A = this chain, B = another copy of it.
Amino acid sequence: MSGTLALVGVGPGDPELLTLKAARILAEAGVVAFPQTDAGAPLALEIARGHLNAAATLIPVPLPMAIERGPAQSAYDAAAAAILAHLQAGRDVAFLCEGDPLFYGSAMYLLTRLAPRAPVVVVPGVTSLTAAAAAIARPLAARNETLKVLPAPLPDAVLRAELDAAPAVAIIKVGRHFDRVRALLEESGHASAAVVVEHATTPRQRVTPLRAVAAGRRPYFSTILCYAGAEDWGQQEGIA
Contact = CB atoms under 8 A, between A and B. Distances in A.
Q: Number of copies of this chain in the oligomer?
A: 2
A134 B69 contact: no
A137 B122 contact: yes
Interface string A14-28: 111111110110000
Contacts of A162: 146
A31 interface: no
A143 B139 contact: no
Nearest to A17: B19
A237 B130 contact: no
Interface size class of A (residues with CB under 8 A): 35 or more
Contacts of A77: 238, 240
Interface string A101-118: 111110011011101100
Given A112-B233, A122-B133, 13 more contacts: A15-B20, A16-B20, A18-B20, A69-B236, A73-B238, A102-B139, A103-B129, A104-B143, A112-B239, A122-B135, A141-B149, A146-B149, A147-B148
28 contacts: A15-B20, A17-B20, A17-B124, A19-B19, A68-B143, A72-B237, A73-B238, A76-B240, A80-B240, A100-B130, A103-B129, A103-B140, A105-B139, A108-B142, A108-B233, A111-B137, A111-B139, A112-B239, A113-B239, A113-B240, A123-B134, A125-B126, A126-B126, A127-B130, A144-B153, A144-B173, A145-B151, A147-B148
